[in-house]
Structure 1
Amino acid sequence: MTLLPVVLLHPAYSPFTVVALVVLAHVAPYLADAFGYNKQPSIPGPWLAKFSDAWLGWVAAQGSRSEVVHQQHLKYGKFVRIAPNHISIADPDALQIVYAHGNGSLKSNFYDAFVSIRRGLFNTRDRAEHTRKRKIVSHIFSQKNVLEFEPYVRSYIEQLTNVWDNMYTDSLKGKLHDGCESKNGRVWFDCLNWYNYLAFDIIGDLAFGTPFGMIEAGKDAAPIAEIGQSDKAQVKYVPAIKTLNDRGDFSASMGVLPPWIRPYVKRIPWYSKGNQAVANLAGIAVAAVNKRLAEPTDRNDLLTRLQQGKDENGQPMCKEELTAEALTQLIAGSDTTSNSSCAITYYLAKNPRAQEKLQRELDDALGSIDDTAGSATSYEQVKRLRYLDACINEGLRLHSTSSMGLPRIVPAGGLEVSGRFFPPGSVLSVPSYTIHRDPEVWGEDVEEYRPERWLVEDDTMIQKTFNPFSFGPRACVGRNLASMELLIIISSIVRRYDIVLKDPNAKLETREGFLRKPLDCYIGLKRREV
């Protein structure tokens, strides 16, 4: 099949022959049914998905993959065929099997579309290489090390709240900052932009030793260098947040297409733009690592820890590998934090009863609000607050940044999942978006933001189903850092401000590349006094 594009270009073939060959190339594998998906009981799904990856490719490019796949599960049930060899399984019990430690499953070629500088921990498919990389990287995110990063995190939260304080007080005086409105004693603005600036500055400082300066500048800009340039190469500035979004859209839609067609698809203008975003994002990492290595420091941050890391043979990462891992941290650490913070803020603003209950918990635990400009809570102060934790988890349930089912290849010997046997080579995934809306686990009000569902005495099934950071040996290594950031960000913001939505009936509109991102979130903010 890899020769098919070349064959079709041969002048000896008429248009009719070309069409016949294309149809045959898709129908023949379906009829052969190598994985038994057509056998009774057959696995249902969209008609086109049985024959071609084009259905999933189109859905992914539209930015609504998780929602569309969810609708297919509502229509067809637990098993849905979303590509010729890709079965989506909407069953919480399947998580423990498909993504389990020691089951031998591998990441599919979906992850090849995310490689730029070189393979990193996220997109490495080889088991031995992944084990090597995880040994170097995982200890960096131990709870002990993460707590040593807390002062950096808090400093940027304080910088953000200081800016928001100024925006609020200036609005009361009739002085408006860019993008702000003043009405009813509040300052109104899109908080998504600011959460993006916050997340990029935090991860820029932790991963590269210096922030991007987005909070201070109030805009999206980061320096890049072209891969292969010398350390002294001149850099230019690009919108990093937009670049990251374009890169996610490109890679997620490219990854569901067959590998043989990807070089041809890249010539399509939309994909060509995304391919440039991949290069630009890599350039951001190259420029930042070059700058850091040229100015040695004794800072205790992610890049220092990556430099100190060694594999089982005592070998550190080379500069290219170091840069690739720093890029992975930039992508994972910025997108997840900003999107989650924005979504949780949206749900608390939309549900004033939950916001008020959380404020009472924070007030009872922490006392009067420190009037120091931009003061932030500490992890030690808030780590045991149950309702805060429930509010965050409920936001992550409804808006998991990683919502799609991450594909895994069934290993030799096959797997039995949810009562059905899948032979080796089958591609399986469990969609977080759908299992986070399973009424048997969460109740009939699955679309409602109700933090109290997390306060039940027996939450075994809830914890078993909750999957915001993936599961198993390839789960997110940075979840401790992400959890600490969200606890401090949400507690600092909600304790300091009273927040409402500009439109109380507004839906949180999203677009999904690899991660699911809010498009905006307009809020009205005023300072609280306790």
Structure 2
Amino acid sequence: MSSVLDGLSGLPIAAWAGVVVAAVLLVHFVPFIADPFGVRSYPGPFLAKISDAWLGWVAAQGHRSEVVHELHQKHGKFVRIAPNHVSISDPDALQVVYAHGNGTLKSVFYDAFVSIQRGLFNTRSRPEHARKRKIVSHIFSQKSVLEFEPYTRMHVQKLLRQWDRLYDLAVKGGSGEEGEGWKGYDGRLWLDSLPWYNYLAFDIIGDLAFGAPFGMLDACADAAPVAISQEKAMASYGDDNSPEITYFPAVQILNDRGEYSASLGVLPPHWRPLVKLIPWYRKGNEAVQRLAGIAIAQVAKRLTVPTDRADLLGKLQEGKDDEGNPMSREELTAEALTQLIAGSDTTSNSSCAITYHLAANPLVQQKLQRELDETLGNDDDSVSTFEQVKRLPYLEAVINETLRIHSTSGIGLPRVVPEGGLTVLGRYFPEGVVLSVPTYTIHRDQAVWGEDVEAFRPERWFERDEKAIQKTFNPFSFGPRSCVGRNLASMELLIIISSILRRYHFVLEDPDMKLDTKEGFLRKPVQCRVGIKRRTA
């Protein structure tokens, strides 16, 4: 062996280049020719068939769902998007790929989302997931979620007060200082609504998860405490020490982390240490550590200041598995981080998208406000209660139509075919193949939703086949790994949207504006500039 290495060390640069090229060809083309997973017949980009780098590049550009959707429109229901990954754009595939008891597991994609330790979202072990879900699921039952309603309503009220304050200044011709981004003209307050929904969502989940908000609505700014030393923060549990912290923009950290992990996750594990040396990925890795630092700082603070409040962390502390064991402190922090991510991103993105579509469709906005006025009265000074709005059909249709067009998670969530293989829509896939069903694409299935799938039209929810819709609508995923917090997300959206639309009327600053998005793990609006006007009775 040493003689071979000695011989290679003496090669000129050109020969070394030849060795590298030969190695690349060997690694990529031999599996392509051998076709160990039996997926050669499935169409897709040639580069995707020979290397995971194609999907890594697409994911890093921030529009994976749209690219995969275009491939399905071109090639049909089955598309090969990586050497061993087949995307299936059929609602019936959801019931197979993600079903209970089918044996499929989350792929190595989810390893890229691990920071403190594996949590409910990124654990790939079925027994471990079952253990964690048993502890966590009761926290998000409808009964438990109602305990969080007063805190949700309190922060929605705070957002309304801030917008009222700016509106009063705007109608007098005022404008924000440099960097504040708001101005007043034509009797309206003009601003980008996205940052405000981010502030609201972070304050709500901070209050629910850690017993205190981040204070973003008060500060009108994106800032959160981050533990500089994870080890020191973790060691400070139970004593009077406080972890060394600094402040970073949490929303930006969350965005960077999502884009980084979603791109890194589609690359083979043995590539990842080298890829992290690339500046863009290095920045994303820093975001992962800082996001973990936010959870560590908040958990350390919360556990050193006991409270009787019914928050998520307290409920997680009380939870026990089948053997009566509670979560360890590190596991507790990992789960709190999961709730921080899931509880902030989805609420803010969806609220922003709903606001955009209502502003872009004035007749829909008018119809929704009429339903709210008839049900809740003309008193727009109070924040809606869940009991008041939980069964309003048009409000629900508006929210669902937005989640159809702008599903927070549009990518196909990857699952590994288990031993014995899996048959999907009459096609057999052997063990080791990765399968996914892209939500973005099945939410645009014309057979289910009609030919006008790109139009925002809540009325379709009263016109289409209910069974087909229930089978296809997938904003919270499906099966045993579906979103455990969907009850909380639904409650928040119902209260937020009903309260805001009772109080304000929205128009787009640019009537021709399209909702630009960027995708990591979630599809996020880039901005949504609107004009806000107080409604009159």
Assess same fold via TM > 0.5. Answer: yes
1:273 corresponding residue in structure 2: 283
Corresponding position of 2:299: 289
Amino acid at match of 2:307: T
Is 1:258 aligned to 2:272, yes or no? no
Contact 1:248–1:513 at 8 Å: present in 2 too? yes
* Aligned amino acid, residue 278 of structure 1: V
The residue that corresponds to 1:376 in the other structure is 383
- Check if 1:418 corresponds to 2:425: yes
Match of 1:3 in 2: none
Structure 1 residue aligned with 2:135: 136
Unaligned runs of 5+ in 2: 237-241
Q: Which residue of 2 aligns with 1:151?
A: 150
Q: Deviations over 1:311-360 (max 9, x none)?
A: 11101011100000000000000000000000011001100000000000
Give the distance between the partners of 2:462 and 2:154, measured in 1 at CA.
32
Instruction: Report Cα offsets for 1:118-176 as digits up to 9, x if no partner.
Output: 00000000111010000001110000000110001000000001111111111112333
Please say if 1:119 is aligned against 2:118: yes
1:10–1:260 CA distance, 2 compared to 1 (3 A):
farther
Contact 2:206 2:340 in 1 (8 A): yes
Rounded Cα–Cα distance in structure 1 between residues aligned with 2:378 and 2:121 = 43
* 154 and 11 in structure 1: CA distance in 2 versus 1, 3 angstrom threshold: farther
For residue 168 of structure 1, give the secondary structure of its aligned residue in structure 2.
Answer: helix
Q: Which residue of 1 aligns with 2:186?
A: 184
Q: What SS is found at the alignment partner of 1:348?
A: helix
Report the secondary structure of 1:300's partner residue.
Answer: coil
Q: Once the two structures are superposed, what CA deviation does each residue of 1:85-123 show, in whole Å capped at 9, x if it has no partner?
A: 000000000000000011110000000000000000000
Query: How does 1:36-435 map onto structure 2 within 5 Å?
Result: 36-38=38-40, 42-177=41-176, 178-225=180-227, 226-230=229-233, 231=236, 232-371=242-381, 375-435=382-442
Q: Distance in 1 between matches of 2:222 and 2:401?
A: 29
Structure 1 letter corresponding to 2:77:
K
Which segments of structure 1 move beyond 3 Å, counting only runs of 4 or more?
Answer: 9-13
Q: Following the alignment from structure 2 to structure 1, what is the Cα–Cα distance between the partners of residues 185 and 449?
A: 38
Equivalences for 1:467-482 in 2 at 5 Å? 467-482=474-489
Aligned to 1:503: 510
8 A Cα contact 1:200 1:334, kept in partner: yes
Q: After TM superposition, list the pairs within 5 Å mapping 1:430-509 onto structure 2.
A: 430-456=437-463, 458-509=465-516
Q: Is the 8 A contact 1:363 1:495 kept in 2?
A: yes
Partners of 1:369 and 1:529 within 8 A in 2? no
- SS, match of residue 505 in structure 2: strand
TM-superposed CA distance for 1:529, in Å, is: 1.7
Q: Secondary structure at the match of 1:354?
A: helix
- Write the letter of the residue equivalent to 1:440: A
1:71 counterpart letter in structure 2: E
Contact 2:448 2:465 in 1 (8 A): no
Aligned-partner Cα distance in 2 for 1:370–1:58: 48
Residue in structure 1 matched with residue 23 of structure 2 by the alignment: 21
The equivalent position to 1:522 in structure 2, one of 526, 529, 537, is 529
SS of 1:44's partner is coil
Distance 2:383 2:129 in 1: 37
Kindly provide the amino acid, as one letter, of the partner of residue 319 in structure 1. R
CA contact (8 A) 1:49 1:84 kept: yes
Distance 1:243 1:90 in 2: 32
CA distance in 1, matches of 2:371, 2:466: 21
Q: Distance in 1 between matches of 2:48 and 2:465?
A: 40
What secondary structure sits across from 1:346 in the alignment?
helix
What is the rounded CA distance, in whole Å, between the counterparts of 2:432 and 2:24 in structure 1? 23
Give the letter for the 1:345 counterpart: T
For the 8 Å contact 1:246–1:274, the answer to whether it is kept is: yes
Contact 2:137-2:484 within 8 A present in 1 as well? yes
Cα distance between partner residues in 1 of 2:283 and 2:10: 31
Supply the distance in 1 between the matched residues of 2:230 and 2:285 (Cα, whole angstroms). Answer: 14
- Counterparts of 1:421 and 1:194, CA distance in 2: 48
Please give the alpha-carbon distance, in whole angstroms, between the structure 2 residues aligned to 1:505 and 1:490: 23
SS in 2 for 1:529: coil
Once the two structures are TM-superposed, the CA of residue 370 in structure 1 deviates from its matched residue by: 3.8
Equivalent residues of 2:135, 2:321 under 8 A apart: yes
CA distance in 2, matches of 1:275, 1:10: 34
Residue 234 of structure 1 and its aligned partner are, at CA, apart by 2.1
Q: Which amino acid aligns with 2:312?
A: L
SS where residue 203 of structure 1 aligns?
helix
Question: How much does 1:459 deviate?
Answer: 1.2
Give the Cα separation in 2 of the matches to 1:145 and 1:480.
10
What is the one-letter code of the residue matched to 2:196? Answer: W
TM-score (norm 2): 0.95
Is the contact between residue 136 and residue 319 of structure 2 (CA under 8 Å) also seen in structure 1? yes
Distance 2:370 2:19 in 1: 72
Q: Give unmatched runs, 5+ long, in structure 1.
A: 1-5
Distance 1:107 1:17, change over 3 A: same
Q: Distance in 1 between matches of 2:159 and 2:253?
A: 22
Q: Distance in 2 between matches of 1:272 and 1:57?
A: 15
| Per-residue deviation, residues 222-269 of structure 1 (Å, max 9, x unmatched) | 001021114323210000000000000110000000000100000000
The AA in structure 1 aligned to 2:279 is P
How far apart, CA to CA, are the structure 1 residues paired with 2:313 and 2:71?
A: 43
TM-score (norm 1): 0.96
Distance in 2 (CA, whole Å) between partners of 1:109 and 1:361 is 46
Partner of 2:239: none
Any idea what the Cα deviations from partners look like across 1:12-37, whole Å, max 9, x if unmatched?
A: 56210110111111011111111211
Is the contact between residue 380 and residue 502 of structure 2 (CA under 8 Å) also seen in structure 1? no
**Deviation sequence 1:401-422 (CA, Å, 0-9, x none):** 1000000001122111112111
Counterpart secondary structure, 2:189 = strand
Corresponding letter in the other structure for 1:336: T
CA apart distance, 1:457: 6.9
2-side partners of 1:448 and 1:466: how far apart? Answer: 16
Cα deviation, 1:409-445, whole Å, max 9, x if unaligned, reads 0112211111211111110000000000011111110
**Cα contact 1:121–1:130 (8 A) shared by 2:** yes
